[in-house]
Homo-oligomer: A and B are copies of this chain.
Amino acid sequence: MPTKHEQIAADLRRKIHEGKLTPGDQLPAETQLMREYRVSPGPVRDALKALRTEGLIETRHGIGSFVRSPRRKVRRSGDRHQWEKDRARLSEDERRETGQVERETGLTVSELAFHAEYGTEQASEDLAKVFGVPAGTKMLHRVYRTRSRAEDSPVSLVDSYLVYDMVAANPDLLTADKEPWPGGTQHQLYTIGIEVDRIIEEITARPPRAEESEVLGIGPGIAVLFLRKTSIDINGRVVEYSEVVLPGDRTEMVCTTQLQRWST
């Protein structure tokens, strides 16, 4: 015998999948559901909570619960890095034409709210180990917050780190004034004579922190993809490290592994 809140959840789920409730539709009020199913507030709230963590509905305080539209997935594939590298040596006009984010999302610049913040700080133990420098080394810490003006489109939270003395050769790289920088990080590194050889991305899934679930517009039950991205130059030196938070329900990472041929 299923519990009442499971029955209610299953019933609403069915209505959504069958199309009786379509994306954007408002669900009956909780008081209404209590009358319909002849239960007290508890089970109704439990059922709605379940649908929220599954990402099926979205609840707005004082307004109501609504069926969410299935999120378009943004593919974030490995060749994005090759694409950025190829563009790094183009003219500014060419670089300005399209940015990385626009390429991936199909959104134009005006539809995106882009925010960049630059600061300096001393490298923590962990950060120093990534770069192979002493703890306390002066680092350039850049924070990027990309969010969509319209709902229902992809965003990302990025914390990027560079060794301060390495990038100080080009003063333009030290302030947020020049952001968004046409051509991205790989062109920024190019201006100080650095060529990136390979990029390592370590991917895990975890529950979002409170700030993240708010900025990304996902419920606290929807996981985020957490990336640790390390760029290594042609001399084997770590030149950039960033931590990226992506909404798990809207992002698809693509990894391609090329294998060596068997010797015959």
Interface residue count on the A side (C-beta < 8 Å): 45
Residues of B within 8 A of A222 (CB): 207, 223
How far is B248's CA from A207's CA once the two chains are assembled, in angstroms? Answer: 9
Given known A-B contacts A259-B82, A262-B195, A207 and B55 have beta carbons under 8 A apart: yes
Interface code A242-256, partner B: CB below 8 Å = 1, 0 otherwise? 000000110111111
Of B53, B249, B257, the residue contacting A82 (CB under 8 A) is B257
Determine the distance from Cα of A184 to Cα of B239 in the docked complex, in whole angstroms: 37
Q: List the number of copies, as a whole number.
A: 2
Report B-chain residues with C-beta under 8 Å of the C-beta of A149. Answer: none
Contact present for A81 and B220 (CB under 8 Å)? no
A135 at the interface (CB under 8 A from B): no
Contact of A53 among B81, B196, B207 (CB under 8 A): B207
| Partner-contacting stretch, out of A28-36, A104-112, A114-122, A198-206 | A198-206
CB distance from A181 to the nearest CB of B (A): 19
Contact status A89-B262, CB under 8 Å: yes
Chain B min CB distance to A209 (Å)? 10
For A210, give the chain B residue with the smallest CB separation: B6
B253 touches A234 (CB 8 A): no
Nearest B residue to A221 by beta-carbon distance? B221
Q: Can you report 10 residue pairs joining A to B where beta carbons are below 8 Å apart?
A: A73-B204, A85-B262, A89-B262, A197-B259, A202-B252, A203-B255, A205-B248, A206-B249, A253-B253, A255-B255
Interface residues of A (CB under 8 A from B): 53-55, 73, 75, 78-79, 81-82, 85, 89, 195-207, 220-225, 234, 248-249, 251-262
